[in-house]
Amino acid sequence: MKRVFDFLVSLMGLFLFTPLLVLLSLLIKFTSKGTIFFIQERVGENGVFFKMIKFRSMQMIQDSDITISVKGDMRVTKVGSFLRRYKLDELPELWNVLVGDMSLVGPRPDVPGYADFLKGEDRNILKLKPGITGPASLKYANEEEILSRQENPKEYNDEIIYPDKVRINLDYYYQSNLWIDIKIIFATIFRNSY
């Protein structure tokens, strides 16, 4: 049932948002150098890698190994800042949902390496399709702002935020159902808790 729901909603979303997707693509293309889309390898269901697609919101930097960003990050473009504020950079992920790499709701897909830290019961999270949104995404909707206040953002992410996200996503693994997914989607749209 979840896959059918994901397929139908993502198909409808891509159709309805086509004018917006075109407009945002043009804004990105004509306001900064680089590609329209940011495509990155992420860890998917059962630890299988897939290519996640987002609107590019940062300057193109070669050989950058930085995996987190903070509020005020100088790499973020003006259009990118707007896209990130309203989570519009995530809209192309509807394609990932349509083709079955992602779900509308689930744990956010990690970059390769982070999944290696999952041990024991926590590895159950990898049985889930990663999502565009999820309960951990809701809690950390202002993650970049939180990280910007830390002396060492990466350390704070690795030692505080990431373990908390794992706990939240494990709770979701045991309790998830279509009704909870619908509540999370509406909470994401209206920026409140579910």
Tens of pLDDT, residues 44-67 = 999 999 999 999 999 976 555 555
Count of domains forming the chain: 1
Strand partners, 105: 133
18-31 and 2-16 helices cross at what angle (nearest 10)? 60
pTM of the predicted structure, to 2 decimals: 0.90
Tens of pLDDT, residues 60-105 = 765 555 556 767 678 899 999 999 999 999 999 999 999 999 999 9
- Mean pLDDT for 173-190 is 95
102 HSE (CA, 13 A, CB side): 30
Residue 140 φ then ψ, to 5°? -110, 40
The rounded distance, in Å, linking the Cα atoms of 146 and 76 is 17
Residue 104: DSSP 8-state: E
Look up the domain containing 132 and give its range.
2-190
